[in-house]
Amino acid sequence: FDELAAAVVAEAAVLSRAAAALAALDVASALAELAAERRHVRPRVDQSLAFAVKAGRHPVVEAALARSGEQFVPNDCELSADDSGAAPGAQSRGDAPDQKRLWLLTGPNMAGKSTFLRQNALIAIMAQMGAFVPADEAHIGVVDRLFSRVGAADDLARGRSTFMVEMVETAAILNQAGERSLVILDEIGRGTATYDGLSIAWAAVEHLHEVNRSRALFATHYHELTVLAEKLSHLANATMRVKEWKGDVVFLHEVGPGAADRSYGIQVAKLAGLPAPVIARAQAVLAALEKGGEGTKTAKLIDDLPLFSASARPAAPAAESAVERELKALNPDELTPKQALELVYRLKGLVRGE
Ligand SMILES: Nc1ncnc2c1ncn2[C@@H]1O[C@H](COP(=O)(O)OP(=O)(O)OP(=O)(O)O)[C@@H](O)[C@H]1O
Ligand SMILES: [Mg+2]
């Protein structure tokens, strides 16, 4: 063993070079295989500020859907901030007003906003690590840093609440992202009071647009923000398309221009299995809040609504069944094992007879 160990050590430099070469081959061939199997294409990566993805897909969600025989819906993304891929004749350095480097993405819950944000970030990473990307075409100007803020998490042991984590991450992005960065922000401002959150999201969009000037995707349920597109020349509104069908939502997972006017949160809650009385009550509260409009005292509105118990309890309790009568009448402590067994048979008989 000592001899073998000594022989290996003597060749250590050669062996580790061979190992490194094999590792590089392994990565390259695995990526090549993936590209061939999953229809990935070679991206164009250059020094421009382009971000143009045609028919992009999320590699992991697509593979998961494929296992259950479902199709992933591809989507385009165009955030180019110079004339590299955008409209002919546009001025350079992101100042042509037709260049929309910041997309504000609205749309119902479950429609695919987070998926779209992450697939574009993944495409940038894959392109820059030398892989082919899940799209029909992709042109990416080198991204110096990728910033993302997604999901709700806390860090209680280190003294950070959910909202604090969200703000610390947002602060890092607004303080550091630059013209060459790519930013994805998923639902800023959700962890605090509605108007506080909306105000923070509003100011963050303006800062990203005016100061950071990064290529960015910003998903939100604050539909109020979509009016910013009138004021900010490089901001475009994009939305996830849905169809309404017999009171339910059907998700098309298509990104298109425009703004959503509602989030269908209650319909999605129904799909998730919230109890029917809760859904009915939520619909009533929503209707009252929407009627009241901005500035109405919600406390008063809620007072005006019939109480939950009065409005949502099932109409009349169903008549008592024979089984229920029998169960109510008995005292389990007084039963012998034999009587208990007989009781089970009797109850069973009653259920069958009913
Ligand atoms: N392009 C797509 N094609 C097919 N299915 C998709 C697509 N995008 C998303 N989905 C499916 O929809 C689910 C929900 O997507 P996602 O979490 O992105 O929605 P969301 O709009 O961010 O919702 P929320 O507002 O609740 O966060 C995904 O888990 C995926 O199964
Ligand atoms: Mg989401």
Long-range residue pairs from 125-130, CB within 8 A, at least 24 positions apart, any chain:
126/40, 126/43, 126/59, 127/43, 127/45, 128/45, 130/28, 130/31
292, pLDDT greater than 80: no
The residue to mutate among 114, 119, 270, having the most atoms of ligand 1 within 8 angstroms of its beta carbon, is 114
Confidence of residue 304 (pLDDT cuts 50, 70, 90): low
Q: How far apart are CA 343 and CA 339, in angstroms?
A: 6
Rounded CA separation 186/218 (Å): 6
Residue 183 has pLDDT above 90, yes or no: yes
Structure tokens at 296: 């109405």
Which residue do the tokens 């999953």 mark? 38
Query: Ligand nearest 110 Cα, by number?
Result: 1
Q: Where exactly are the structural domains of the chain? A: 1-37, 39-271, 276-312, 322-353
**pLDDT > 80? residue 108:** yes
For residue 253 and ligand 1, the question of a CB distance below 6 A is answered with: yes
Higher pLDDT, 169 or 306: 169
- What is the CATH topology of the domain spanning 39-271? Rossmann fold (3.40.50)
Pick the range with the lowest mean pLDDT from 22-26, 210-214, 265-269. 265-269
Could you tell me the sign of the dihedral formed by the alpha carbons of 36, 40, 41, 47, in that order?
Answer: negative
Q: Is the pLDDT of residue 213 over 90?
A: yes
- Please report, rounded to a whole number, the percentage of residues in the chain having pLDDT higher than 70: 88
Residue 159 pLDDT greater than 50, yes or no? yes
Q: In angstroms, rounded to a whole number, what is the distance separating the alpha carbons of residues 249 and 235? A: 28
**For the chain, counts of helices (H) and of strands (E):** 12, 10
Amino acid at 205: V
Measured in angstroms, how far is the CA atom of residue 116 from the centroid of ligand 1? Answer: 8
Section 305-333 average pLDDT = 70
The predicted structure's pLDDT at residue 330: 86
**Ligand 1 lined by 115 (C-beta under 6 Å):** yes
**Which structure tokens are listed for 325?**
């009568």
Out of 30-44, 83-97, 105-119, least confident range: 83-97
pLDDT at 298 over 70: no
Q: Angle of helix 162-176 relative to helix 194-207, nearest 10 degrees?
A: 20
Pocket lining: 112 vs ligand 1, CB cutoff 6 Å: yes
β-pair type (51-56, 102-106): unpaired
